[in-house]
Amino acid sequence: MMDRKKILDEGLLEKYLLDELNTSDRDYIEHALKTDKELLQKFSELEEDFEKMAFENAIPPPPQVKTKLKEQLDTKKARKLSNSPLLVAASLGVLFLLSSIWMYTKWQNTRAEFELLQNQTTALQERLNTLEENYVLTNTRLKTINSPKTIPLVLYSNEAAPNSRAVAYINHESKMVHVNAQGLPMLPKDKTYQMWSDVDGEMIDMGVLKTDEELISLKYIDKAESLNITIEPAGGNDHPTVANLIAYVTL
């Protein structure tokens, strides 16, 4: 059984006023209005608001409403004169109800358009935030690689990937490593480039390289003797495939 909150939240009073409820719900609303004074007060205010909005805004109903009403009036012209006041009152009531329904529909459409605009505004704000974050990150990286204490290193490829290269930027003071791998050829989707640091003969993973990004941040490894790039399965490997070594540089 519905309660007052459900009736108000689901707009059942408005639907009752506009005769949009089924028989069961309509009977329930009528019973609720008889037993709930606060609900009755809300309904009375709603009736007054609809009537006030209809007359103050003087919203003309769609042409088909007037046409149908005229047809109804023409059909009933043969009625007795004594019935004319009732007919006029009923016609005005129908006109008012149809005008109210039309106005309510317009209001619903306007609200939907407003919600759509809000969603678009939120999406735009999120996009702007992302762009701002990317700008800050890129600006920070550029300042870092342009620092006098940053060392640029070119990793030229071997015969496995001729005419290819990657550039690594290392700052030992800030322990930063950025790599531009856009000079490397594209790989199939099931393969990726991975960089390794050679420390006392042990190859330590620095991270996966992406060829579609200008600068990639990798892990800084202390006491590295060289930087090495291999081709590994997509997602990276836990150990280097030495046979797939394509580029390296000695530090």
Residue 84 within a domain: no
pLDDT at 83: 47
Instruction: Give 159-184 pLDDT, tens digit per residue.
Output: 877 888 899 999 999 899 999 999 99
Instruction: Give 52-65 pLDDT, tens digit per residue.
Output: 765 555 455 556 54
Residue 109 within a domain: no
pLDDT at 199: 95
Q: What is the domain-level CATH number for residue 157?
A: 2.60.40
pLDDT at 1: 47
pLDDT at 162: 81
Grouping H, G, I as helix, E, B as strand and the rest as coil, residue 216 is strand
Grouping H, G, I as helix, E, B as strand and the rest as coil, residue 77 is coil
- The three-point CA angle 251-211-135 to 5° equals 90
pLDDT at 136: 65
Residue with tokens 């342009």: 146
DSSP 141-182: HHHHHTSTT-EEEEEEB-TTSTT-EEEEEEETTTTEEEEE-T
Take residue 131 and report the two structure tokens written for it. Answer: 């762009």
Domain total of the chain: 2
- Asked if 56 and 48 count as a contact pair (C-beta separation under 8 A), the reply is no
Task: Give the domain extent around 175.
Answer: 151-250
Burial of 170 (0-12, 13-18, 19+ CB in 10 A): buried
What pLDDT tens digit does each residue of the chain (251 aa) get? 457 888 888 888 888 877 788 888 888 888 888 888 888 888 888 877 766 765 555 455 556 545 655 665 566 554 444 444 555 555 556 666 666 676 767 777 777 777 777 788 888 788 777 777 766 666 666 777 778 889 999 998 888 778 888 999 999 998 999 999 999 999 999 999 999 999 999 999 999 999 888 888 999 999 999 999 999 999 999 999 999 999 989 98
Residue 66 within a domain: no
Q: Which of 58, 91, 107 is a domain's end point?
A: 58
Residue 14 within a domain: yes
Cα–Cα distance measured from residue 144 to residue 239, given in angstroms and rounded to the nearest whole number = 30
Q: Which of 9, 41, 58 is a domain's end point?
A: 58
pLDDT at 212: 87
- What are the distances in angstroms from CA 132 to CA 125, 126, 136, 214, 227? 10, 10, 6, 17, 32
